[in-house]
Chain A
């Protein structure tokens, strides 16, 4: 372990000095638990990541790894109760949003940070037209007149390449196809020109051909508007084209963070390795698909040591005793594995 640059990876300004770090959005040592009748589930156990203007951070992980809960905490739309934020900060322009008043937070939603949801059919209100739901942003948040708001909403629909935007304005969500509906959802979230866009599995509910179109559109809009984007996904295929950096989550923690290229070329955590290995390959046609054996841990009873150790092929005694911290292992990459160095340096 000697030649690993050992330093706790921490965002500047997180040392309590309160100095503005210049970061757009930072999540710092966030901890969230769900208190249910059956017990306390520790869903987020010290997540730290950031996103700057003009870059895309992909947050990768299985269901239940805490990627969506982190996003919901940032947006302030976590169901509380059962959810409780037990520690950490979410800083937007250096200001901790968790300490803001409800009204201050409301103003940031949509204008500072906006969000796209996975299932556009249930995420859009079924009884209002798509146009109404987009124009509402301009009317309520910008105080525009009905006519102006409608004009702006049609422009938004046009920007997300919905054909015949004017005619589609008065359609209801169920009259749109899945792909068109997700485009409308994107138009709605971008209406107030947010600085950060959180896309929570934006393509999961779509056909594969449509998935690529939506990802291309998102990438294009993100570059045009120089937005910071957090792309939450469990699909490694979706990530490669769009993301600048990737954070891999497991059991409510970040286990690896790296540039896209580094992560694909040399994963520094056995979990990431397992994820990459489980992508089906054409040259192995006919063989059984590879999986990561075992199941993610029960969040009410996370195993001691490294939470991944029961499933890890490389697990050693130390893994069952000591929780590996997220340590920097070179420029812009970090891993929470006792054996990160061995992994990166293997042939």
Chain B
């Protein structure tokens, strides 16, 4: 187990170098002048451009730029934007917002998706089953911006149940609607996977044994059946956790959440290589660690899986 963990962590090193190099080169290769239109109607003054070029090492060869960037990164300096704001600062302000939104979305996915999946898996072909099947089909088929705008208009504008956008305080109640929008498609998948898994395991021999032991139905379903059926659901939630933590450009945009997704978008538009690379590096690391966490969670859920 310890050796497995060490090997997995060591695997992060080449992945880390590979992704940073790739992203850095991609941003570097994007055409366009970062100082075009920076100074209003006129072209930027020569001495400003020279100073910025000097400061950001823009006339150095690509690999020198990359090396300087990596050196700073290892010293904990994520670089700065053209206006001089530290990228560390940007991540520190916007990432908590993304994490809060991700947590709410994941909670909604798990609670609603799992409940719907268990109820329909136990009783297939009923009214509820058909309702869930059709509504999940809609959620999977519709792009997130449609779901987002429609729900924002319905709940925020038409019925005025919630405020259409999220305030900077990021209160939990404000996050329910954006969280639902962000998690809607995955919630639908969770419901369907849980439904199939429950329905399949419902007829398993060990469930029959649990009934034959005279255990109450609550316990047969809640302990014996659910524990086995959770394994594929956890896979799904785990991969989704990584994706959610990568920020949600569209959902954050619709509801005005100052999250990491918006910052990436802004940095790409303004061609701030340091910001883009730094944020993506953080996201890649988070994603890899989340995957590792899910793999470890498997072993906890299914004792037949052992990591050597």
How many A-B pairs have beta carbons closer than 8 Å: the answer is 72
User: Counting CB contacts under 8 A, is B205 at the interface?
Assistant: yes
26 A-B contacts (beta carbon < 8 Å): A77-B211, A106-B216, A109-B213, A110-B213, A117-B205, A117-B208, A117-B212, A119-B205, A122-B205, A122-B206, A123-B205, A123-B209, A125-B206, A125-B224, A125-B227, A126-B206, A126-B228, A127-B301, A127-B303, A128-B224, A128-B227, A140-B219, A141-B214, A172-B303, A189-B213, A192-B214
Q: Hey, which chain B residues are within 8 Å of A140, CB to CB?
A: 215-216, 219
A126-141: CB near B (< 8 Å → 1, else 0) gives: 1111000000110011
User: Counting CB contacts under 8 A, is B7 at the interface?
Assistant: no
User: Counting CB contacts under 8 A, is B171 at the interface?
Assistant: no
Query: Are B212 and A174 in contact (CB-based, < 8 A)?
Result: no
Given known contacts A114-B212, A125-B224, what 5 new A-B pairs fall within 8 Å (CB)? A77-B208, A117-B212, A119-B205, A127-B301, A136-B213
A111 to B212, CA, bound (A): 10
Query: Are A125 and B210 in contact (CB-based, < 8 A)?
Result: yes
Q: Hey, which chain B residues are within 8 Å of A79, CB to CB?
A: 203
A122 to B211, CA, bound (A): 14
Top 3 A-B pairs ranked by shortest CB distance? A109-B214, A110-B214, A122-B205
A-side residues, CB < 8 A to B, are 75-77, 79, 106-111, 114-115, 117, 119, 122-129, 136-137, 140-141, 172, 174, 188-189, 192
B235-258: CB near A (< 8 Å → 1, else 0) gives: 000000000000000000000000
Q: Hey, which chain B residues are within 8 Å of A115, CB to CB?
A: 212
Of the four ranges (under 10, 10 to 19, 20 to 34, 35 or more), the interface on chain B belongs to 20 to 34
Query: Are A174 and B304 in contact (CB-based, < 8 A)?
Result: yes
A137 to B206, CA, bound (A): 15
Q: Hey, which chain B residues are within 8 Å of A106, CB to CB?
A: 214-216
Q: Chain B: which residue is nearest A171 at the CB level?
A: B303
Q: Chain A: which residue is nearest B302 at the CB level?
A: A127
A222 to B164, CA, bound (A): 71
User: Counting CB contacts under 8 A, is B204 at the interface?
Assistant: yes
| Residue of B204, B206, B211, B304 contacting most chain A CB atoms (<10 Å) | B206
| Residue of A111, A123, A188 contacting most chain B CB atoms (<10 Å) | A123
Q: Chain B: which residue is nearest A103 at the CB level?
A: B216
A128 to B205, CA, bound (A): 14
Query: Are B215 and A136 in contact (CB-based, < 8 A)?
Result: yes
Q: Chain B: which residue is nearest A127 at the CB level?
A: B227
A117 to B206, CA, bound (A): 10
Q: How far is the CB of A137 from chain B (nearest CB, A)?
A: 6
Q: Hey, which chain A residues are within 8 Å of B208, CB to CB?
A: 77, 117, 123
Within 8 A of A (CB), among B252-308: 301-304
B55-99: CB near A (< 8 Å → 1, else 0) gives: 000000000000000000000000000000000000000000000
Within 8 A of A (CB), among B179-201: none
Q: Chain A: which residue is nearest B227 at the CB level?
A: A127
Query: Are B216 and A125 in contact (CB-based, < 8 A)?
Result: no
Query: Are B209 and A137 in contact (CB-based, < 8 A)?
Result: no
Q: Hey, which chain A residues are within 8 Å of B213, CB to CB?
A: 109-110, 114, 136-137, 141, 188-189
Q: Chain A: which residue is nearest B304 at the CB level?
A: A174
Query: Are A126 and B303 in contact (CB-based, < 8 A)?
Result: yes
Q: Chain B: which residue is nearest A129 at the CB level?
A: B303
Q: Chain B: which residue is nearest A198 at the CB level?
A: B212
A313 to B210, CA, bound (A): 45
A206 to B212, CA, bound (A): 22
Q: Hey, which chain A residues are within 8 Å of B212, CB to CB?
A: 75, 77, 109-110, 114-115, 117
Q: How far is the CB of A216 from chain B (nearest CB, A)?
A: 23
A129 to B206, CA, bound (A): 13
Query: Which listed residue, B210, B214, B301, B302, touches A107 by the CB 8 Å rule?
Result: B214
Q: How far is the CB of B214 from chain A (nearest CB, A)?
A: 3
A75 to B283, CA, bound (A): 55
Q: Hey, which chain A residues are within 8 Å of B206, CB to CB?
A: 122-126
Q: Chain B: which residue is nearest A126 at the CB level?
A: B304
A75 to B210, CA, bound (A): 12
Q: How far is the CB of A136 from chain B (nearest CB, A)?
A: 7
A243 to B259, CA, bound (A): 74
Query: Are A125 and B228 in contact (CB-based, < 8 A)?
Result: yes
Q: Hey, which chain B residues are within 8 Å of A77, CB to CB?
A: 208, 211-212
| Residue of B204, B211, B212, B219 contacting most chain A CB atoms (<10 Å) | B212
A16 to B184, CA, bound (A): 60
Q: How far is the CB of B191 from chain A (nearest CB, A)?
A: 22
Q: Hey, which chain B residues are within 8 Å of A128, CB to CB?
A: 224, 227
Q: Hey, which chain B residues are within 8 Å of A141, CB to CB?
A: 213-215
A174 to B212, CA, bound (A): 21
A77 to B208, CA, bound (A): 7
A79 to B216, CA, bound (A): 17
Q: Chain A: which residue is nearest B230 at the CB level?
A: A127
Q: Hey, which chain A residues are within 8 Å of B304, CB to CB?
A: 126-127, 172, 174
Q: Chain B: which residue is nearest A111 at the CB level?
A: B214
A283 to B19, CA, bound (A): 76
Query: Are B211 and A127 in contact (CB-based, < 8 A)?
Result: no
Query: Are A126 and B302 in contact (CB-based, < 8 A)?
Result: yes
Q: How far is the CB of B212 from chain A (nearest CB, A)?
A: 5
Q: How far is the CB of A242 from chain B (nearest CB, A)?
A: 21
Query: Which listed residue, B209, B216, B219, B301, touches A124 by the CB 8 Å rule?
Result: B209
A114 to B210, CA, bound (A): 11
A172 to B212, CA, bound (A): 20
A141 to B212, CA, bound (A): 13
Q: Hey, which chain A residues are within 8 Å of B205, CB to CB?
A: 117, 119, 122-123
B1-20: CB near A (< 8 Å → 1, else 0) gives: 00000000000000000000
Q: Hey, which chain A residues are within 8 Å of B302, CB to CB?
A: 126-127
Q: Chain A: which residue is nearest B208 at the CB level?
A: A77
Query: Which listed residue, A108, A117, A119, A124, touches B214 by the CB 8 Å rule?
Result: A108
Q: How far is the CB of A152 from chain B (nearest CB, A)?
A: 15
A172 to B302, CA, bound (A): 10
Q: Hey, which chain A residues are within 8 Å of B303, CB to CB?
A: 126-127, 129, 172, 174
